Amino acid sequence: MAGGEGTRLRPLTSNQPKPMVNLFNKPVMEYIIELLKKHNITDIVTTLQFLPQLIKNYYTDGSDLGVNLSYAIEEEPLGTAGSVKNTEDQIKDTFLVISGDAICDFDLKKAIQFHKRKKALVTIVLTRVENPLEYGVVIADKKGKISRFLEKPSWAQVFSDTVNTGIYILEPEIFSHIPPNTNIDFSKDLFPKLLKEGKPLYGYVSEGYWCDIGNIEQYRQVHTDILNDKTDVPIGGVKMGGKVWISKDSAIHPSVKFKGSAFIGTHCKIEEGVEIGDGTVIGNNVLINGGSKTNHAIIQDNAYIGGNVTLNGCVIGKNCDVKKGSHIQHGVVIGDDCLIGKNTMIKPNVKIYPFKSVDAGATVSRSIILETRGMRSLFGVNGISGISNVDITPELATRVAMAYGTSLPRESFVVASRDTNRVSRIIKR
């Protein structure tokens, strides 16, 4: 299943589907394909909806990965069950549904054997988690038969730590229970209905690593987990003592200091005096100039990091240019193809969407989403200027008015005038 937009992962998913987000220089979905192939599952149908052509162009028929890949495209979102209904004409036997945007190392063969042994219509692969609030909680008896579902409970409602991983083993009969061209979800709609009808629904608790990459924090966490051997997901590269992996054809100056786990992609150059902190992941073709420091930073392909830059707990997208002396703080995510001017300060948790630029010396304390750039100063030669409804928005006008209002005494009067332009009318109102 690879149709999700990944709204909580933006700006990383602003210009690509969630399954194509990079993890150690490969799309997340590629790890799932490798897992399926490892368990001799090579006939794969991929459900697509958001920017489907990017996935189709990358994988084509799957032959490069040793699998047979075909596609089912939704014209509009149909939900998890509705999207699988779209594949009905391609599936004639027991089949497995798995998300293309999660990472796991489960033994899928054991789950399939359990399903067949129980003669189940549906087997849900479950796992135990510390915090079940973000997932669907499932409770089953000692034989594995499911008795109850609860989607994303509150702490007061939590009755089990076994959660739905979104991996299902199903019989083709399931298609007769899914109406065509209808938005319907497996866990919210279909499974509770089948449970009421007394259909054989089972839960199989799998041991191993599983992480649903639903938000930026989970995206960063899965990198850390893989670096620290919490899963056997392969990441490539040569292990250079400790927990540092370096890929081929990368040039690293002897003075570079490594402090903890790190991964460096191919064709990288890391110059004199750079300090690579714990949890740093560096993509392919990345250049880091001297004196820069990283800590729990993810730097994606083709990025340029200038000298004396500090990257702390942030994500830098592909093809970004971060000029010298910049400080990018914890929780910041910079989308692809952004330009960050020299001596810039980007405050914690700011999101900068793709194709933006930030002026040299600017301090950015709020996200740049619609604006074309982050400005060092608001007022230029001709006052405040920019593209209407992009740089100059009603929100900006309101902020300027609020700032001006704080300088005036109570009971003051303000007169505003405008020309005949429609944009002027919007801003004045």
306-315 pLDDT, tens digit each? 999 999 989 9
pLDDT grade for 333, boundaries at 50, 70 and 90: very high
Distances in whole angstroms, Cα of residue 276 to Cα of each of 63, 206, 263, 270, 289: 37, 36, 10, 10, 12
The one-letter amino acid code at 283 reads G
What integer best gives the mean pLDDT of the chain?
Answer: 84
Which of the listed ranges 156-165, 225-234, 347-356 does the model predict with the highest average pLDDT? 347-356
Residue 236, pLDDT above cutoff 60 = yes
The Cα 214–Cα 7 span in angstroms is 9
Residue 154, pLDDT above cutoff 60 = no
Please check whether residue 420 is in contact with residue 402, taking contact to mean a CB–CB distance below 8 angstroms.
no
Residue 396, pLDDT above cutoff 60 = yes
Report the percentage of the chain scoring pLDDT > 90: 19
The Cα 122–Cα 170 span in angstroms is 5
Mean pLDDT of 103-110: 88
pLDDT grade for 304, boundaries at 50, 70 and 90: very high
Q: What is the largest CA-CA distance in the chain?
A: 80
In the numeric block, which tokens belong to residue 412?
Answer: 């003051």
Residue 210, pLDDT above cutoff 50 = yes
pLDDT grade for 156, boundaries at 50, 70 and 90: very low
The Cα 78–Cα 371 span in angstroms is 32
By DSSP bridging, strand 363-364 and strand 298-299 are: unpaired
In the numeric block, which tokens belong to residue 58?
Answer: 């990358």
Residue 5, pLDDT above cutoff 50 = yes
Residue 52, pLDDT above cutoff 90 = no
Give the pLDDT of residue 157: 44
Give the pLDDT of residue 136: 63
CA end-to-end distance (rounded Å), the chain:
46
Give the pLDDT of residue 155: 46
Whats the size of the chain, residue-wise? 429
In the numeric block, which tokens belong to residue 242?
Answer: 């400790």
